[in-house]
Structure 1
């Protein structure tokens, strides 16, 4: 339980520090780029946790949250009617939290790289919400507090879409190639979200895979964007 307190404190400290340091342009710009590029490590960490699972884990159908469930058994949380046992749940929840932190830190630090427009400021706020949503899902695993875990995760399912649209529009003339890449990732994330909503009607839809496309398309966008911005310096 103490580790989850530390996760919460680190998230608050990370957000506060990012807001306080955002005007130190050259240093924070580089930190923001590295933060977003580091998101590429998420799926490697997830792979480690999946390999350690002591109950069958279906990558295509089970949600990512199952890997952070702290107890073993059937019915570990409200929607889990199947067996879950993830011995590396602490590693997974730390990964969730740190992923959220580097997401919102990168969004705050890299705002200076975009045109100075109102839409960019709104996009930054939305990406901060996206990162916080993901961090909180690690601080409150589904089996420890299902309501907080679920309601905190909901904004992170859709706020990234308008955020990327706003950025894509703002950079259309100054960074046309990156703008096209942005809208491609918007398309992937939007289609994944729509299919997730249709999952109750079509049980054959791979919910776990769709969830990974939903979030992964944004992390892929951030990773590539971080590299592109670094090369432009």
Structure 2
């Protein structure tokens, strides 16, 4: 469901009276509650609500993933960092950019750092258990870190650099969630097929055990009379 957050960005940006640039403008600009010469977001309530919902989804996802994370030190770090990301994301919607630079960035910065760390820990935790999850987590972490470096170095425009930094985590959540659902569906289908085959096999076994009808015994006198009659 986290992929819906990206759709909300597109919806909110489309409501702007002045052109919104995904390459130049910040994500936080979509949530500002006041209008200025450069920015005015009519659907700021929708965007800020999306931040809060994404935070709730992050905690929910961490809770559902908890029992599948291999035991070890990294497990506690993953859950702790997921909570930090969730609270930071929700706080971004609670304290929009126009509430003050210090307050807003205090809410945003923990999530900036924690989201990359949690992906790295996920890659480490799953490396010996589910290699594809580890590789996918590492790829998302690397993409986000490259984005952060390019953003801080001002190599990219702010909007593009910020999205390259922040988008990998919700994309990780969406893709991993879809993969989990597909795996569950496949396992359910295979289980149903196995049960059907088991049921058919059980019926076949019962039929094989059913006693066959046998002809009543015929006495020797009857057989002699039949032979004589045929002659």
- TM-score with structure 1 setting the length: 0.75
State how far apart, in whole Å, the 2-side matches of 1:112 and 1:218 are.
20
2:30 is the alignment partner of 1:67 = yes
Backbone CA RMSD of aligned residues: 1.4
Structure ranking higher on relative contact order (CA contacts 8 Å, 6+ apart): 1
State how far apart, in whole Å, the 2-side matches of 1:144 and 1:154 are.
15
State how far apart, in whole Å, the 1-side matches of 2:6 and 2:125 are.
30
Task: Give how far 1:227 is off.
Answer: 2.2
State how far apart, in whole Å, the 1-side matches of 2:161 and 2:4 are.
19
**4+ residue runs over 4 A deviation:** none
Mapping for residues 107-186 of structure 1, pairs under 5 Å: 107-186=62-141
Structure 2's unaligned 5+ residue stretches are 185-231
Aligned residue number for residue 203 of structure 2: none
Task: Give how far 1:73 is off.
Answer: 1.3
State how far apart, in whole Å, the 2-side matches of 1:219 and 1:148 are.
24
Structure 1's unaligned 5+ residue stretches are 1-37, 75-82
Mapping for residues 212-231 of structure 1, pairs under 5 Å: 212-231=163-182
Task: Give how far 1:232 is off.
Answer: 3.8
Q: Which of these two proteins has the greater Rg computed from alpha carbons?
A: 2
**Across the two proteins, how many residue pairs are aligned to each other?**
184
State how far apart, in whole Å, the 1-side matches of 2:78 and 2:2 are.
19
| CA displacement, residues 160-203 of structure 1 (integer Å, 9 cap, x when unaligned) | 2221111111111210111111111111011001111112xx5x
Contact 1:158 1:193 in 2 (8 A): no
